Structure 1
């Protein structure tokens, strides 16, 4: 019965209450998946990732340091792994390579968990980490950054030191040091460039292929801390969200705001552009999942999910899986 529900879901969300939520846009339905014993704050979902290329498994990392495996085919949790010591802080990133899982926590302890082995590779990436992000085209490479912890890129096959460390921008016009606060990171496809957003409303682009370790572009958006970013399938822009529910599309060449996506009320916690369609999903403290068009910036879907939401994960397929007519599909 749960499998009938989980198989039609194309969007997955993790909540503060520890519930994994699946949404079917076609059926306009949302479902809760959890062991009923699980509803406590230490089960709060911090990070989510696909566990396999077929997207048949969702990995769910919680505040208590466990990573659970959820089968989207069966509609149940099939495994739990103890991956962290909650005293080291919450998960700030979760990723998968060929046969390993990568976790990172706020204290800067990054671990590579080999399948079927108790051995882990450990890297200390430095304290105050807000985000660890994998390079989707070179999956053994990850980037980290946080509060007074600059953007660093790591090669997990040579983990002794970072292959790139960003340099802070020059002092400001009062000759004051500019504080470092990396909140989210994205690898720009088909290039060596990396984009970050900060708690001081900056969006920065770095190019590790050049000798320049400072940003090659800096833009600003709004007045509030930026919390999340995601790169659309069509290149040249980035979507960013902040603590006041403002979402914007920024041009990565000129650093200009192309437009804003309306309708959010609370802080943006989760943001993901669809891998191939011109769509972006967002969620956060106002308890709604929203899907916006990146073409005309219109709100396509809005689903109330009862809990405050921390993360969103989109399936790569068409989000509306149905026998809809061509005209129907085109409008989406």
Structure 2
């Protein structure tokens, strides 16, 4: 029986490979058969199947959802979740049912053992669908020319909140909309979005206005991913140029920049309790930054272009890995004792060389004797 896969970061790639990273042991493992890879298995969305993180769900390009069991270290289930057009733009779990949303705007709740699945049309051009962690029945959607909408899956007839575009610019032209990612602020009803026009916006459904209550510009390139810190005070955003920044959601200012990325950032996730943030993208690296001192803690090269990642909610990583490290040290000591007990075998050729080196130089002695006789004769 295979050992449980206790990884700290799970990464899905464009080639369809699920990779796990142990940050304490500094090891990366592949959990997909390389020989059976196909372009249709590209991982477009990921989520944990339960709070214990014993299952990792992968939303693939071909419309299937594969279930990886971390306790058994293998794929155990395959769900057919085809419907609509385009790839998965969101994946979640609600009361043991899968929630998926594709690019064409079809949001669907797949109830196990039931043919009557809930279907909601959220509008075309969807770029992101995300479930609220505090209230799982609340879902946020948005995309290209598809403004932010918040849905209650218990009453899916109409969205409970529909955002309104900002006012026209100084030329009285309509401002284009293109939401790339969104997130729910903890212990609040507010929602944060990032756009392809390098805007970070906060919407408050409790406010009488449907326009954003705060807008911040970051850099000049399209923003592609975001993640909100556990305290809800800041948001980490990344853009298509590889730049990452931490923005204060209360004052609307840039706190710091996290350096190191060299390609478009595809996925960002903050740890639920530790001050660290993981990111991955097209440069094939998974990076872990510290939010306290901006340092790059880990950088792992994973060979393939990376689409999405999941960061474990466990903490005290070093303590949980103490036992394996001690076992390795004991094993090394046993190997050293075995090597010490082994007899040394002398090399005959080397011993001959040593003996020849110890012999006096005969040629030099004879030449010295002849030279002495010549002197006496003279």
DSSP 3-state at the match of 2:304: coil
Distance 1:11 1:210 in 2: 37
Displacement of 1:235 after TM fit?
A: 2.6
- 2:293 matched to 1:289? no
Please tell me whether Structure 1 or Structure 2 has the larger radius of gyration of its CA atoms.
Answer: 2
Residues 124-157 of structure 1 deviation map (CA, whole Å, 9 limit, x = unaligned): 0000000001111000010000000000000001
Displacement of 1:321 after TM fit?
A: 4.5
DSSP 3-state at the match of 2:225: strand
For the structure 1 residues 42 and 173, does the alpha-carbon distance in structure 2 shift closer, same or farther, using more than 3 Å as the test? same
Paired position in structure 2 for 1:145: 142
Paired position in structure 1 for 2:114: 117
Displacement of 1:37 after TM fit?
A: 4.9
Residues 62-110 of structure 1 deviation map (CA, whole Å, 9 limit, x = unaligned): 111110000011110000011124x700000001111211000000000
DSSP 3-state at the match of 2:24: coil
Q: Which residue of 189, 210, 214 maps to 2:211? A: 214
- 2:313 matched to 1:310? no
**TM-score (norm: length of structure 1):** 0.94
Paired position in structure 2 for 1:328: none
Q: Which residue of 83, 91, 98 maps to 1:101? A: 98
Paired position in structure 2 for 1:157: 154
For the structure 1 residues 36 and 166, does the alpha-carbon distance in structure 2 shift closer, same or farther, using more than 3 Å as the test? same
Asked whether the equivalents of residues 261 and 297 of structure 1 are also in contact (C-alpha less than 8 Å), the reply is: yes
CA RMSD of aligned residues (A): 1.4
Distance 1:323 1:124 in 2: 45
Distance 1:94 1:324 in 2: 31
**TM-score (norm: length of structure 2):** 0.83
Aligned runs of 1:34-49 on 2, under 5 Å? 34-49=32-47
DSSP 3-state at the match of 1:42: helix
Distance 1:146 1:138 in 2: 22
- 2:24 matched to 1:29? no
Asked whether the equivalents of residues 234 and 278 of structure 1 are also in contact (C-alpha less than 8 Å), the reply is: no
Asked whether the equivalents of residues 90 and 105 of structure 1 are also in contact (C-alpha less than 8 Å), the reply is: yes
Paired position in structure 2 for 1:68: 66
Distance 1:196 1:303 in 2: 28
Residues 20-44 of structure 1 deviation map (CA, whole Å, 9 limit, x = unaligned): 0000011100000113454111111
Aligned runs of 1:127-276 on 2, under 5 Å? 127-276=124-273
Distance 1:116 1:35 in 2: 29
DSSP 3-state at the match of 1:88: coil
Distance 1:139 1:228 in 2: 21
Asked whether the equivalents of residues 203 and 220 of structure 1 are also in contact (C-alpha less than 8 Å), the reply is: yes
DSSP 3-state at the match of 1:169: coil
* Higher RCO structure, 1 or 2 (CA under 8 Å, sep 6+): 1
DSSP 3-state at the match of 2:40: helix
Asked whether the equivalents of residues 6 and 70 of structure 2 are also in contact (C-alpha less than 8 Å), the reply is: no
